[in-house]
Structure 1
């Protein structure tokens, strides 16, 4: 292994306010520190490059564990190869090796963190894992589906991976799992089709799956102990382990999610992924805040967090490296997992330029990839004219906006206990909506 010795010449030059512990995000900050280098892990059987963007750090070490769950590890100093960007190259085949980063700050603080760009993780996202992604491909894993005909032809059905088969009446063997989602021949107690056969009966073109990246508050080794839909992001580029048959094996969740997508594609059904880039569950413990305190989250001038999401924090998509993170992430999911569309939770938190860049990025892969989102005008610390909200929809071509007024007109209100019906239930005079 290559051990790079860190020199003291680069210490204490980064713009960290030692009084607040936050980065001073000036108008030229991104110009000075943002990078277009590929971040995270760059794996090959001969060597692996680890690269982290951490502009507030004085020095960084790679913590490379000898086993996935053991405590013993090698500590390897990383080199600052450009302002704010650190890397180290480690020789040998590191497939399935767990790692973290140790960050030293100018005030003497030391923290360890997972890799925000990680593609794989141990149980409950405790450690990042190097992975040979080719080894996770199912048998006959091929190319993307052919381009979809037109967005206006889409018939979308929303589902939750866990909920779709978790009931004992679903007939599935792998209840609540990626693999359970694509079991065929399953029936309810009264003989009706369930699972994948039910979806095929519906005649849908797309299934929109609620969050299936790694979320924080469900024990991956005890799926039924606590319930959460998954709008509590932890590792954005890692599949959720509670949906896998073995949460402790980092490759199982990747392989089985690919198998689910492959099974849906074989049935002629495309997959839209629900993504929640607008907030995280806990800023203090999330890798974003650990590697760049004060950068990835939108704040007011006094340093307090903007809270248009209503859950305590808003990500700052207008900052170059947050924007780039979103672009890199959707590109990864589209290319590695053959995802056919993205549903952006609370899209109005993001800025117009970022959403247009998402459209441009995905167009290079497949212009028929669907982008839709919740374009509500939320109270976040961003000028209204920059918000990716429905009021600015004309500035975001080929990005659909969810219309809750139309939903209420068609099916009725969700806010009164279900007593208010809509057009499809016979309520008159709703056509004008």
Structure 2
């Protein structure tokens, strides 16, 4: 292979064959492992060649390996704090399709496949001349189809979303929303380590008694669709997920169905940190090239959610840019909501903005503008809308017992009449407590996937008040207290909805907010 081999990271098809390229500059050796089936022994293991830039490469002439599975086996350097060693094989960080075993390590394998041809027919990406026209419905895809009342066929969440007779797309059409913002659909680490058990890497699960990551904010593969939502997928421990490669086609079918109804699809993406307990390929191929580390090679965690990615590093930026381009061009999504975008540096944001808008001029780029830094105004300067937590905390409150908002007749500290007027006008910079240059940059909401639902926030507040006022009446039954507040819950829920919908800017509601949904806090 010539030294100036024009590589592209990942597995790519060319006229003469299939090319593989992995960035792992500190590795002593990388072997390419090919499998005919996911659960069979390897057909062959081949040593890859290293370029001067630390890219390990292999070209396989012909296409005999198409639809096989592949991994990389990496031999690590001795005693380097900037390289994470593993005795297990890892999948390709740029893989377009990944299968796994339902175990906290994942045991991922990537499929050698071309993008599936798809007929988009008359479906086109949804454009909004004025972002303020957006009414976003934030939802976990399974929440819209899992309950029997959705009247779905249990074919997998992607197909059920399209075909459910009451839930899914049908419900969004009935509501009249024009955008759906899905919690992460990129391949993530679903199984977590057993609670309070220390695993091989030294990590101990002290945070999740269920040992299941339902939401999906632990991304493992940024180009691959989550196979757990595809037909035939199972959540049983040690079950194989994704070996029938249907997720790509089914997710594209979902997006097409939304577009045909004039509903934009916004993906919640997590580029600020990566999964930390599974065989994440970034961690085990180039720890120093992707992550924020201290001088001793320890991971930094300003996100408080995992190992932070470092967007000042070229490898991380190129991964993000490649991922955004892939989802815009191959899946035709309409926009992205960037989780904890305050961690992303401005240089990365500016380049990403230019790239995304060159592909889709009307793309929606929405920031959760905290995590590391709080910078909604900086995003506004770049014509990005941001989640408006000031409006949320002033209208609803931050805590249902100790820090309530004007919905309950209480004024948060430092709030004045002019503050509230400005919130209704779009939280404009020129006025009190302003954040944004334009009202269309304010994503107004009083409920999201984080924390209490609005209904539960209200219930908790009202129950506390009733307990406080009735503490001398010990015979008062708990169910009497709960049963007596539901009418008041609905009244306050409607008032909050009215306040939200008359506020200038983009409106976002969370799944179930329309009926005061109750759920466990995760």
2:367 maps to which residue?
A: 373
The residue number in structure 1 matching 2:375 is 389
2:111 aligns to what? 129
For 1:66 and 1:227, how far apart are their aligned partners in 2? 30
Once the two structures are superposed, what CA deviation does each residue of 1:209-238 show, in whole Å capped at 9, x if it has no partner?
00111111249xxxx994511111122211
Secondary structure of the residue aligned to 1:122 is strand
CA distance in 2, matches of 1:47, 1:376: 45
Give secondary structure in 2 for the equivalent of 1:294. helix
The equivalent residue for 2:95 is: 118
Distance 1:255 1:409 in 2: 43
- Alpha-carbon shift at residue 389 of structure 1 (Å): 2.7
Match for 1:236 among 196, 211, 222? 222
- Change in Cα spacing, 1:180 to 1:44, as seen in structure 2 (3 Å) is farther
Change (3 A) 1:51 1:294: same
Do structure 1's residue 100 and structure 2's residue 79 form an aligned pair?
A: no
**8 Å CA contact 2:123, 2:260 repeated in 1:** no
**Structure 2 residues without counterparts, runs of 5 or longer:** 80-84, 193-209, 233-240, 412-416, 424-522
Query: TM-score, normalized by length of structure 1?
Result: 0.79
Note if 1:214 corresponds to 2:198: no
Q: Please report the TM-score for the alignment, with normalisation by the length of structure 2.
A: 0.66
Equivalent position of 1:165 in the other structure: 145
Shift, 1:58, TM fit: 2.5
What's the Cα RMSD here?
A: 3.0
Q: CA offset at residue 257 of structure 1?
A: 0.7
Which ranges of structure 1 fall in alignment gaps of 5 or more residues? 11-34, 188-193, 379-386
User: Could you tell me how far apart the structure 2 residues matched to 1:209 and 1:228 are?
Assistant: 13
User: How far apart in 2 are the matches of 1:299 and 1:101?
Assistant: 24
Deviations 1:179-219 (A, max 9, x none): 111125x13xxxxxx32122112222211000111111249
- The answer for the alignment partner of 1:289 in structure 2 is 283
Compared CA separation, residues 284 and 178, structure 1 to 2 (3 A) = closer
Instruction: Give me the whole-angstrom Cα distance separating, in 1, the residues matched to 2:268 and 2:332.
Output: 14
Report the count of equivalent residues: 378
State the partner residue of 1:47: 17
Instruction: Say if 1:197 and 1:359 are closer, same or farther in 2 by CA, change over 3 A.
Output: same
Distance in 2 of aligned mates of 1:320 and 1:248: 31
SS at match of 2:273: coil
Distance in structure 2 (CA, Å) of the matches to 1:119 and 1:244: 15
Correspondence for 1:269: 263
Q: CA separation in 2, counterparts of 1:368 and 1:242?
A: 30
After superposition, give the CA deviation of every residue in 1:274-329 in whole Å (9 maximum; x if it has no partner). Answer: 00111112167321121113221112223222211112421100101101111110
CA distance in 2, matches of 1:305, 1:226: 23
Taking the aligned partners of 2:111 and 2:92, their CA distance within structure 1 comes to 9
Measured in 2, the distance between the counterparts of 1:391 and 1:254 equals 37
SS in 2 for 1:182: helix
**Counterpart-to-counterpart distance in 2, 1:245 and 1:75:** 32
1:56 aligned to which of 26, 37, 61: 26
